[in-house]
């Protein structure tokens, strides 16, 4: 939209161009895949800006200087991440100052916050920390709410450079809370309004999702659909761009409703929701308690459930029963069952769920038993075989799954499937 | 090393500089994470070349042209991927031809192979295929052994542009089999050999590590040190470059030995090793069994231990005792202890470790109890307070920690600290 009516207008175009520069030898050496640039690009794009170029350079003043020259000539602003740490290989501040012809001056605000933080953590105060308090003359500092390295913004040749730390969660937080408001202030035209929704799905391959919803995405491009696999989930991001807020939201709502209906069986959450968080709120709302008995998932289900603040209110206990002895001792699984059907079997899964439910005196018992691999396969039970059972007042259900994955992914997929079963059960209750 | 004797010699330096340019709107919109650049960068770096810059631009002739100008001025060669497909949004060939001032001419070799391929696959011959047979005048074609889009190489301003398709398996195959031999031919000096080692540390902040080892890193740059925080670990990567393999390895070995001694208390592993894997091999080697009782870590320790294949041989069970009732029932923690000292206390942590050790009949019992937050703090016990205990034949030890982090990170740091305690104990045994 916004591009059509400014076609050919270079200045006009440039005002919407935001560049991205990520800095680090670990990136140009290919030892690490850059997590910041794609995240930042997606975020800016969804807000209606253009990203004409993404650059990655190593920790050398020359490369950083070249990038700054090239980017300032084609962008209204540039988000820079990386190289703000306390060690000598972190040279971003010096390099940016040099490229922009500024001196480095100590910022007392940063210095004070660094001192406070190092003391709070009981760390020693080092020369490196003192270096982190230096910023280019004329720059405005950007506080770091989650880490030690502060960022800063600096105008150079009509281009605003917003320099942030490279640690992804710090960069993401500071882009969302501080960089984007700064960009909004300097963008003379309000970019197209962008309404977007992330639909989180599990249990349907990306290709099948795409095929099913294809007809529902308007040809005119007023709503775009992007697929982001986040194992074991697939996130479908719907983005509606329109100069007017109301239209963007209405277009999004229309497509989201149609798409949600089609994806319903595998669609479990939206935007920032997590599966464990959704299960947690359902348990709280229905005032039900839970206990988990894990064999092949090895504690992962309990770990995810306890990531939710307040989970102690509904999770009574978890048992990681890796040995047959512990299955008998903690879950009261009869040795006869283990002997006849084996530890990886439907009868064992059922007894585990019922056993933990009785032992813990809770409303719901959830269990997993399987073969995560790489070894342990037996005739008829290949690696990836998992039985998941849920015991409740209305009886016990059990699901047999086969995940063609490596050990960690079998655990992750099994834990996810178990939480989905729990969610479905809770939704089915009055 | 290889740079010193050519210091200041721009041409000399440039001869080892290989740039990377990836093209596609899906990359600049952040819808897809670039898989090609990191793979190509790692491959080139390991062979001794420098990658001064990686650029990513969208499918516009202007952006591609700018990138080609900027890259040709600082690199001896550039590997370009993406935008060679048959659809109208694939404009790389036209854009490169335009930027280099060449006409497009049909290549009969490409045309023939495309016809053959489409017939073999039973596809329809389309206008798009005919477009794919056009390459810039003066370019040499690069056959695609796995896909339809051929690549080409083209000299522009003394810089060799090697243009390849964006499909990762096609790009990787063509880089390995065709691009690298081309680069070797134009690189006048044999590239340096690179030896590198990753030292994985926990419990010492990056800035303090740097201060301690500073004097051990040679000034002449024959061994470089880079710090990479991977919460809760810090990875120190030592990289030695030398024209001769033996010298690179010897230089690395010398520095690694000295650095390892200094970092010893917090250095737990190297390269691909993981803390849970190291603990697992120690338990196996010493033929000891383990059980874990987790409160604040909520199953994370068991989850990490069971990520290691074969962990069922030493991990007998895990208990996630979130409620007081479960601490008493599964770990035999006296109600009097819980009442007098509270669930988050040293006496409780000790009884939990001893209780799981006895209940499971194992050699070692490991326990955690703490306040992960965000709520739950009590006077004298702020959020982040964690007690970790290890019970063994030689008695029980307990550590009190305070982590200034959010809920997830308190869990992660506590689990890591517990595994480090276990590791130290196992190393102390005869």
Q: Which of A56, A128, A321 sits opposite B210 (nearest CB)?
A: A128
Interface test with B, best of A7, A21, A28, A307 (most B CBs within 10 A): A28
Taking only residues 385 to 424 of chain A, the set having a beta carbon closer than 8 angstroms to any beta carbon of chain B reads: 407-408, 411
Helix (H, G, I), strand (E, B), or coil: what is residue A402?
Answer: strand
A chain contacts of residue B30, beta-carbon cutoff 8 Å: 37-45, 51
| pLDDT tens, N- to C-terminus, chain A (430 residues) | 122 222 223 334 566 899 999 999 989 988 888 989 999 999 998 788 889 999 999 999 999 999 999 999 999 999 999 999 888 889 999 999 999 999 999 999 999 998 888 887 777 888 888 888 999 999 999 999 988 899 999 999 999 999 999 999 899 999 999 999 999 998 765 667 778 899 999 998 777 788 889 889 888 878 888 777 778 998 898 988 888 889 999 999 999 999 999 999 899 999 999 999 999 999 999 999 999 999 999 999 999 999 999 999 999 999 999 899 999 999 999 999 999 999 999 999 999 999 999 999 999 999 999 999 999 999 999 999 999 999 999 999 999 999 988 999 999 999 999 999 999 999 999 8
Residues B51, A28 contacting (CB under 8 angstroms): yes
- What φ, ψ does residue B252 adopt, rounded to 5°? -65, -50
pLDDT at B29: 86
Interface test with A, best of B20, B302, B352 (most A CBs within 10 A): B302
The yes/no answer on whether domain B193-270 falls in CATH 3.30.70.2860 is yes
Class of the CATH-defined domain B17-186: alpha beta
Residues A263, A217 contacting (CB under 8 angstroms): no
Contact A306 B372 (CB under 8 A): yes
Contact A306 B320 (CB under 8 A): yes
Residues B373, A309 contacting (CB under 8 angstroms): yes
Taking only residues 54 to 93 of chain B, the set having a beta carbon closer than 8 angstroms to any beta carbon of chain A reads: 54-58, 60, 63, 66-67, 70, 74
Interface test with B, best of A81, A126, A306 (most B CBs within 10 A): A306
pLDDT at B230: 85
Q: What is the pLDDT of residues B95-144, one digit of tens each?
A: 999 999 999 999 999 999 888 877 776 667 777 778 889 999 999 999 99
Q: What is the pLDDT of residues B36-71, one digit of tens each?
A: 999 999 889 878 889 999 999 998 999 999 999 999
Question: Which DSSP symbol is given to A179?
Answer: I
Residues B87, B27 contacting (CB under 8 angstroms): no
Residue numbers in chain B where pLDDT is lower than 70: 1-15, 121-123, 188-191
C-alpha A289/C-alpha B2 separation (Å) is 65
C-alpha A170/C-alpha A175 separation (Å) is 9
Residue A282 contacts B, CB cutoff 8 Å: no
The CATH number of the structural domain formed by A275-428 is: 3.90.950.20
Taking only residues 128 to 147 of chain B, the set having a beta carbon closer than 8 angstroms to any beta carbon of chain A reads: none
A chain contacts of residue B60, beta-carbon cutoff 8 Å: 52
Taking only residues 222 to 241 of chain A, the set having a beta carbon closer than 8 angstroms to any beta carbon of chain B reads: 226, 228
From B310, B413, B334, B414, select the one nearest B369 (Cα to Cα). B414
A chain contacts of residue B329, beta-carbon cutoff 8 Å: 359
Contact A306 B411 (CB under 8 A): yes
Q: What is the pLDDT of residues B265-287, one digit of tens each?
A: 899 999 999 999 999 999 999 99
CA distances (Å), B374 to each of A118, A272, A306, B385, B418, in order?
Answer: 21, 18, 12, 12, 21
CA distances (Å), B49 to each of A18, B165, B192, B380, in order?
Answer: 30, 22, 7, 56
* Extents of the domains making up chain B: 17-186, 193-270, 275-428
Contact A34 B34 (CB under 8 A): yes
């Amino acid at each position: 939209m916004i591009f059509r009516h400014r076609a050919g207008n270079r200045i006009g175009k440039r005002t919407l161009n935001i560049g991205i520069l990520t800095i680090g030898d670990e990136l140009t050496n290919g030892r690490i895949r850059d997590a910041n640039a794609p995240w930042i690009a997606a975020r800016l794009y969804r807000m209606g800006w253009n990203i004409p170029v993404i650059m990655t350079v190593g920790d050398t003043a020359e490369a950083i200087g070249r990038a700054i020259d090239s980017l300032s000539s084609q962008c209204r602003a540039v988000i820079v991440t990386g190289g703000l740490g306390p060690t000598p290989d972190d040279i971003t501040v010096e390099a940016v100052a040099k490229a922009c012809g500024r001196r480095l001056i100590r910022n007392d605000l940063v210095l004070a916050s660094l001192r406070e933080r190092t003391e709070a953590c009981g760390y020693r105060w080092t020369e490196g920390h003192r270096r982190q308090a230096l910023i280019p003359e004329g720059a405005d500092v950007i506080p770091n709410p989650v880490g030690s390295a502060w960022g800063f913004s600096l105008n150079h040749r009509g281009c605003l450079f917003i320099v942030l730390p490279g640690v992804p969660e710090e960069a993401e937080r500071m882009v969302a809370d501080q960089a984007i408001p700064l960009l909004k202030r300097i963008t003379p035209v309000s970019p197209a309004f962008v309404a977007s929704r992330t639909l989180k799905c599990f249990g349907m391959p990306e290709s099948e999702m795409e095929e099913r919803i294809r007809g529902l995405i308007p040809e005119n491009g007023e709503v775009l659909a992007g697929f982001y696999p986040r194992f074991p989930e697939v996130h479908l991001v719907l983005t509606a761009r329109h100069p007017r807020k109301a239209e963007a939201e209405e277009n999004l709502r229309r497509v989201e409703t149609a798409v949600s209906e089609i994806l319903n069986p595998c669609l479990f959450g939206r935007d920032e929701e997590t599966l464990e968080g959704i299960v947690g709120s359902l348990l709280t709302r229905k005032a039900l308690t839970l206990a988990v008995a894990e064999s092949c998932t090895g504690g992962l289900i309990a770990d995810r459930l306890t990531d939710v603040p307040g989970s102690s209110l509904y999770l009574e206990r978890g048992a990681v029963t890796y040995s047959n002895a512990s299955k008998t001792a903690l879950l009261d699984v009869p040795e006869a069952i283990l002997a006849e059907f084996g530890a990886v079997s439907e009868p064992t899964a059922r007894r585990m769920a019922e056993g933990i439910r009785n032992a813990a005196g809770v409303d719901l018992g959830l269990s997993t038993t399987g073969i995560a691999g790489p070894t342990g396969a037996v005739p008829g039970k290949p690696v990836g075989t998992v039985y998941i059972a849920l015991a409740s007042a209305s009886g016990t259900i059990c699901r047999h799954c086969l995940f063609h994955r490596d050990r960690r992914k079998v655990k992750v997929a099994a834990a996810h499937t178990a939480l989905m079963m729990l969610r479905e059960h809770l939704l089915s209750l009055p």
